[in-house]
Every structure is written in C-alpha cells, then in structure tokens.
Chains A and B, each alone.
Chain A
Amino acid sequence: LAKTTQPISMDSYEGQEVNITCSHNNIATNDYITWYQQFPSQGPRFIIQGYKTKVTNEVASLFIPADRKSSTLSLPRVSLSDTAVYYCLVGAKQAGTALIFGKGTTLSVSS
C-alpha cells in the first residue's frame, strides 16, 4: 500500500482558503485517494475521493496532478467549525484491504 505524507499541522483564519497537500510517491495504478475529517472524540467522516484530475463536491475540492504522486485537498473559506484533523488515504479500488490512516493534518482555524 502506498504510504502518505502530510503536514502535521496547519493554521488558518476564518474566510481563507486552505490547501492541504498529501504526498504518495508509491501510488499504484489501481489506487484511489480519499480524504476524511475527524473532530475530537468522533469517528472520521468521509469528505471527498478521487482518482485523477479534479473532483469537487459541496464541501471541498480535490486536485490530483497527472503523475498522481500527490494530491491537494482544498477547503474554500474555512470557518471555526473546520478545525479538525484531516486524513489522506491511498487505497486500491477494491474494498477490504487494510487501509492506512496515518497521523493526519491538524487544521486550526482562528477568528
């Protein structure tokens, strides 16, 4: 399984756009990229998932360059409630394999 590397922490202010980059140099052809958000004492929550190029939903955008060795989660106009830990996962396009969450990126949003 591809190992991922993310910044340990990031700080931002309300209203700013936040970009969190994840490196996955050993990503395999069948691997997809998924981001989860976790608030303290809660289980992680699915944010967005993609395989290549750009994916956008009502919460975030995910940018994946052509070589797929990295990906960037973009959160537009963050608010205090976006303070959380964000995890980047890389896994095969099949369920059941052991997913590795890593330590994630702690995003702190201030007013």
Chain B
Amino acid sequence: EAQVTQNPRYLITVTGKKLTVTCSQNMNHEYMSWYRQDPGLGLRQIYYSMNVEVTDKGDVPEGYKVSRKEKRNFPLILESPSPNQTSLYFCASSFLGQGGEKLFFGSGTQLSVL
C-alpha cells in the first residue's frame, strides 16, 4: 500500500531534550516536506526537500533541522525542543503530475514539549 509513515504518533518530551520524528515514503517520490499545524493557524511548511541532499527552508524553519540522505526518508530533528514547538506535525511526499505537484501526507505526530 502506498503510504507515508510517521513515527511516533504521539510524543511527550521535556524542554531541551533532542528528539527525532521519522518519516518514510514507499512511493519513490522525489519531493518531501514537513508541516506543523496549530489551532487557528492552519498548516505551515517547515522544510522541504527536492531530492537527496537537497533541502530548503519553508515558512517556519526556526528550531528545526532535517536531512535527506536517502530518497525514502526525511526525518525532522528538534535539537533543543521548546514549549512553543508543541504542535501537530505532518510529513508529506509529493510528485509532479500532469497538472502540478500532488502531496501525500502521513497520519501526523502530536508533539508536546513540557
């Protein structure tokens, strides 16, 4: 089954404790991205990657890191999490179809930073 898999689904951590949220896709898509969703603010893009070893900042990159060492994986790294990073995170993979880019999202990771 074609899918984007994020882990963990839920995560509670404390301020300053490094964490990684993993994301993997099995659709051989070139492009991957990370979003955060907060009440009243909609979805905001954190980082995106156009290919292996090619990443760029989105709307809200501060406090986050990403890496794309393999085509299928795109982990999101919080080196020193803070409470304002408590949010619902989504990973997406995408391809450029006939009309334009189409995104496929994972099920999300609910992160709470205490």
Contact = CB atoms under 8 A, between A and B. Distances in A.
Interface string A33-46: 01010000111111
Contacts of B45: 98-101
Contact of B101 (A42, A43, A95, A101): A95
B107 A42 contact: yes
Q: Contact size class for B?
A: 35 or more
A43 B6 CA distance: 11
B42 A95 contact: no
Interface stretch (B13-21, B74-82, B87-95): B87-95
A46 B103 contact: yes
Contact of A51 (B99, B104, B107): B99
11 contacts: A32-B100, A42-B108, A46-B102, A46-B103, A91-B100, A93-B100, A94-B101, A95-B50, A98-B56, A98-B59, A102-B42
B48 A98 contact: yes
A32 B50 contact: no
Given A87-B42, A102-B42, A94 B96 contact: yes
A86 B92 CA distance: 17
Contact of A95 (B30, B44, B58, B107): B30
Contact of B94 (A92, A95, A98): A95
A48 B38 CA distance: 24
